[in-house]
Amino acid sequence: MDKMIAYCGIDCLECGAYIATQNNDDAKRKEVAEEWTKQFNHDFKPGDINCDGCMTETGKVFNYCNICEIRKCGQEKGVVNCAYCDDYACDKLERFFQMAPMFKATLDEIRKGL
């Protein structure tokens, strides 16, 4: 599997939380917690860094994924990811893309192939 694209365009296979979880790597959890604490101005602990990918229905997801409005919407609509949605790119995504424009490029590329 080359990519696992979340609803918002993040490639879960490249996400530090996913990598740390899949490898059961406590050093990586600590590294990601420290990086995200600085990046997002929120106190993350290594124990917070556990995720089986945004698309999982029964596995672990990162804390924020439980309240993510993009993920919830994608699940409700039953789309593979937001690139497949008839409402692409909605206001929720546009707000997210302001913080993370690289994920828009990922979803735009998927849409070109549909």
Give average pLDDT by consecutive 10-residue segment, the chain, 114 residues. 89 94 96 91 91 87 85 95 95 91 94 92
- Cut 0.85: pTM above it: no
3-class state of residue 5 by DSSP: strand
Residue 61 has a pLDDT of 86
Give the pLDDT confidence score for residue 41 in this predicted structure.
83
Task: Specify the pLDDT at position 19.
Answer: 95
**Residue 43 identity (one-letter amino acid):** D
pLDDT at position 110, please?
95
